[in-house]
Amino acid sequence: ICLRNIIKEPSNQEILMVYDKPKHKNDLKPGNRWGLPGGKCCDDKLKTHNCCTETPEKTAIREFLEETGYIAKVELLYSDELLHPESREKFVRHTYLGSIVGGRQSITKFAGSIISPHWFKLGAFPRNSHKSHQHLIGRYFGIANAKG
């Protein structure tokens, strides 16, 4: 979760989101969605344990840089043990609060005038954002029913 305008103007708080276009035509995700920057440490689909050579914090910093162009300093907010919806394998999701400390926003343009990453007003993030990310944002801010 990366925010700006927190101190200057609380009513203008914004959250940084990235556009998540399916990588394959057979992708299980329904349509294109906005989400929080992030990702996995291990891309080895055959291994579920002990395949990561970096800490969760370093993974968060690397993924943030790859998806936004910004260098971030991160602070762990919470960790949750979850079940993967398809494989039913357990995994741990770490959620960090990020502060931009350097870098430069990398811009990716998609069809329909979509530019990613994009800053959204906290109360007006897109309807087609990941439900789990809406939940994380709501949890952090104590919003009962966070919706885009």
pLDDT band per the 50, 70, 90 thresholds, residue 51: low
Predicted confidence at residue 61, as pLDDT, reads 92
Cα dist from 83 to 76, 86, 91, whole Å: 21, 9, 6
- What is the Cα–Cα distance from 101 to 1, expressed in whole angstroms? 14
97-118 tens-digit pLDDT: 888 999 999 988 887 788 899 9
Report how far residue 125's alpha carbon sits from residue 36's, in angstroms, rounded to the nearest whole number.
Answer: 11
Residue 25's contacts (CB-CB under 8 Å, 6 or more residues apart) are: none
Contact between residue 82 and residue 91 where contact means Cβ atoms under 8 Å apart: yes
pTM of the model: 0.78
For residues 12 and 78, give the distance between their C-alpha atoms in angstroms, rounded to a whole number: 25
pLDDT band at 71 (very low <50, low <70, confident <90, very high): very high
- What is the rounded distance in angstroms from the CA atom of residue 120 to the CA atom of residue 142? 18
Residue in the block written with tokens 């007003």: 121
For residue 139 the two structure tokens come to: 């949890």
Tokens encoding 143: 């919003």
85 pLDDT exceeds 50?
yes
